[in-house]
Structure 1
């Protein structure tokens, strides 16, 4: 039977460890740095499935951990990997994937799994809505809302917000995406036309990982608006301009791990078992 080593990460790793244990798997969890006797080398000699966090790293040096840990350097991890291991993680750097390929090490990136990314849009959307409610003194009901982009997360977010009776406009560059948004019942606008309209929105959700709401657009945003950016860091909003203008704005990352860690862990567990069944 497979033995699992879970390294770093946030509370998703804790829930994932519990789920694995409840299903009869041997697990070792190293995510808070409280065990001075922990040896990565010994743990990796014991376990053949290495479960790294989402994201795999933030500083490109060490595995991401919500708690300060000094023994999770990526180089240290790679030095102990063998062809007997299978590696999992989210947003695994290209050089790690290449190292695994050259050394015949199984490597699976959660973010390359369509089912995982689609299921996680639900937790991301719910988390984004929770962030907006927390940040704003107003009510979502019948507010005017702008969503920039219409990818997976934006679609799910738009549908959730529609259920809360917001008037939603989708902004994008691609005609096919805007056509789909229109067919789903949403108002649409080209990103290039935002200058004319951006001042009328109460809530703005950015999902595009590029600077789309720059200082010029921020200057046109209502001072009562709330901006939630769920694009990957550094996001797509000029936050310094928002601060100077007194506009509530927040880059909200890792929402599934914050608002739905148990559900997210269940999604990962199912994906991991599917991948392992295909390696036999």
Structure 2
């Protein structure tokens, strides 16, 4: 149980509703900022504006998966209010207060460091990333089916990167009968691709490896699909870029060449928000219980 824990949930999408539901069931006291257009309420949760929050009383702050933008604004689908998290607000919180976010950026890192608070990036955790790869894979399959006129079975697919998402994507498309090749830099990753029964290639050879593909799925969060790579791709190739914004594709040149390139970060929240929210909620409840015992010094 999370009795005695004061938590601010700031912004977010349908995934946050599962977080709110789980934490209220565990008896945490929640303050919901950016949920004024939400029709139903939750017992033990209060809808408030950010300037009404007593930050001095907060044990934890939960941000949406993207955290904030570079100006500190927090996205929410349940409000038209502009919500900003500032350094001054964080400095008012107790020293044990922890901020939870899916990912971070330079703005969020700066205010966390200057206020001497702790930031937990949920998507840096293996458990969250691996669980999240399941709806990501399903969403990727959906997008490929929607945006191509061929079957996945028998198609030529290149997956770039063999991280937690890349591995799941490569395995799933292979299971559906695609001819899958995987590009990676790490020699251990290339060995793993071979062990999986797929075709490995070093990313240095990307220009040559894209000449005959139908689908390219990128998971690498820096520009890897450059103009010179795109110039070697067949015009019918579909690119699904799963990397966080701005992705790893030169979208301007892809459009110029007539190659369909889709930036698709946050697929779990689009295709399966309930399941994606439950993944986050379960991990957060464990982390908050640890905070309750270790950080705040209360009993569970």
Q: Do the two structures share a fold, i.e. TM-score over 0.5? A: yes
1:43 aligns with 2:53: yes
Q: Tell me which of 250, 256, 263 is aligned to 1:238.
A: 250
- Separation (CA, whole Å) in 2 of partners of 1:164 and 1:253: 23
Gaps of 5+ in 2: 39-46, 294-300
Contact 2:159–2:181 (8 Å) recurs in 1: yes
What SS does the corresponding residue of 1:83 show, helix, strand or coil? coil
Deviations 1:9-38 (A, max 9, x none): 221112221233344444333334549x83
1:55 aligns with 2:61: no
1:135 aligns with 2:147: yes
- Separation (CA, whole Å) in 1 of partners of 2:164 and 2:205: 23
What SS does the corresponding residue of 1:204 show, helix, strand or coil? strand
1:65 aligns with 2:80: no
What SS does the corresponding residue of 1:18 show, helix, strand or coil? helix
- Separation (CA, whole Å) in 2 of partners of 1:205 and 1:168: 10
Match in the other structure for 2:129 = 117
What SS does the corresponding residue of 1:200 show, helix, strand or coil? coil
- The alpha carbon displacement at 1:232 in A equals 1.8
Change (3 A) 1:272 1:205: same
1:5 aligns with 2:11: no
- The alpha carbon displacement at 1:96 in A equals 3.5
Change (3 A) 1:161 1:44: farther
Change (3 A) 1:77 1:143: farther
TM-score when scaled to structure 1?
A: 0.88
Change (3 A) 1:77 1:124: farther
Contact 1:41–1:80 (8 Å) recurs in 2: no
Contact 2:10–2:64 (8 Å) recurs in 1: yes
Contact 2:159–2:218 (8 Å) recurs in 1: yes
- Separation (CA, whole Å) in 2 of partners of 1:258 and 1:29: 22
What SS does the corresponding residue of 1:119 show, helix, strand or coil? helix
Deviations 1:233-254 (A, max 9, x none): 2211111111011111111111
What SS does the corresponding residue of 1:168 show, helix, strand or coil? strand
Match in the other structure for 1:151 = 163
Q: Which moved more, 1:14-23 or 1:138-147?
A: 14-23
Q: Tell me which of 182, 195, 201 is aligned to 2:207.
A: 195
Match in the other structure for 1:21 = 24
Q: Which moved more, 1:14-23 or 1:206-215?
A: 14-23
- Matched residue count: 276
Gaps of 5+ in 1: none
- Separation (CA, whole Å) in 2 of partners of 1:121 and 1:60: 29
Deviations 1:204-262 (A, max 9, x none): 00111122211111111111111101112221111111101111111111112111221
- Separation (CA, whole Å) in 2 of partners of 1:221 and 1:256: 28
Contact 1:62–1:74 (8 Å) recurs in 2: no
Deviations 1:150-176 (A, max 9, x none): 111100111111221111000122222
Match in the other structure for 2:187 = 175
Q: Tell me which of 228, 231, 249 is aligned to 1:219.
A: 231
Match in the other structure for 1:210 = 222
- Separation (CA, whole Å) in 1 of partners of 2:290 and 2:144: 40
What SS does the corresponding residue of 2:168 show, helix, strand or coil? helix
